[in-house]
Amino acid sequence: MLVLRTASPLADIARVARERVGSVDQDVQVMRVEPFSELLERPLARPRFNAFLIVVFGLAALLLSAIGVYAVIAASVRQRYAEIGLRMALGATSSNVRALVLSEGLRLAGVGAAIGLTTAMAATRLLRGLLFGVDALDPVSMLTAVLLLVSVSTLASYVPARRAIRVDPMIALRAE
């Protein structure tokens, strides 16, 4: 194996390398000439693919959790139309109702984050062998995961919160 560093085109270097190697020993042949970047790609292909799969599965899990939080909060708002209507009839502002619904979503996110952090701490022995250059309990990674979960849960709770502030107190109270 011979590695050359040059700014010349690959075809020119291949021709010169074959000539020079042949002039030293006729029995040695240059079998393959490749750019160094391609030589680096092969050993990194599997780890890159694995990282890509982990990202795809992580995004799918995040999307599913957002859909789950949205569904739970939307069902809760639907079941509490009369309560929300009564609150609004008694003087609750739209920001009060929005805060009520968003706080429910944040409570769910907080419970999920606590369970996730506890599980991650318990699984560190299993994960230690898979990590390189990162501590299994890396505080930046953990904080980023919690902030991402809370942000997505807040966004997922926002649509039901908007629906809740549009509840007409008279219609909600008559429906009960």
pLDDT tens profile 97-124 = 999 999 999 998 999 899 988 998 888 8
The closest of 142, 143, 146 to 113, measured between CA atoms, is 146
Report which DSSP code applies to 8: S
**Higher pLDDT among residues 21 and 175, named by residue:** 21
Q: Does residue 27 belong to any structural domain of this protein? A: no
Query: Cα angle vertex 86, ends 84, 88, to 5°?
Result: 70
Q: Does residue 24 belong to any structural domain of this protein? A: no
Euclidean distance between CA atoms 70 and 96, whole angstroms: 19
Q: Does residue 170 belong to any structural domain of this protein? A: yes
Q: Does residue 2 belong to any structural domain of this protein? A: no
Q: Does residue 109 belong to any structural domain of this protein? A: yes
Q: What range does the domain containing 88 cover? A: 63-175
For 107-137, the DSSP string reads HHHHHHHHHHHHHHHHTHHHHGGG-SSS-TT
Q: Does residue 52 belong to any structural domain of this protein? A: no
pLDDT score for 55 = 93
pLDDT score for 153 = 92
Euclidean distance between CA atoms 138 and 50, whole angstroms: 21
pLDDT score for 71 = 95
Q: Does residue 161 belong to any structural domain of this protein? A: yes
Q: Does residue 111 belong to any structural domain of this protein? A: yes
Contact 106, 158 (CB under 8 A): no
pLDDT at 95 over 70: yes
Query: Cα angle vertex 157, ends 110, 140, to 5°?
Result: 40
The closest of 146, 174, 156 to 76, measured between CA atoms, is 156
**Higher pLDDT among residues 84 and 56, named by residue:** 56
The torsion region of residue 91 among left (phi > 0), alpha (psi -120 to 50) and beta comes to: left
- Show the tokens assigned to 18: 């074959």
pLDDT at 72 over 90: yes
Task: Please give the mean pLDDT across all residues of the chain.
Answer: 86
Encoded amino acid at 29, one letter: Q
How many domains, in total, are found in the chain? 1
Contacts (Cβ under 8 Å, ≥6 apart) of 70:
156, 157, 159, 160
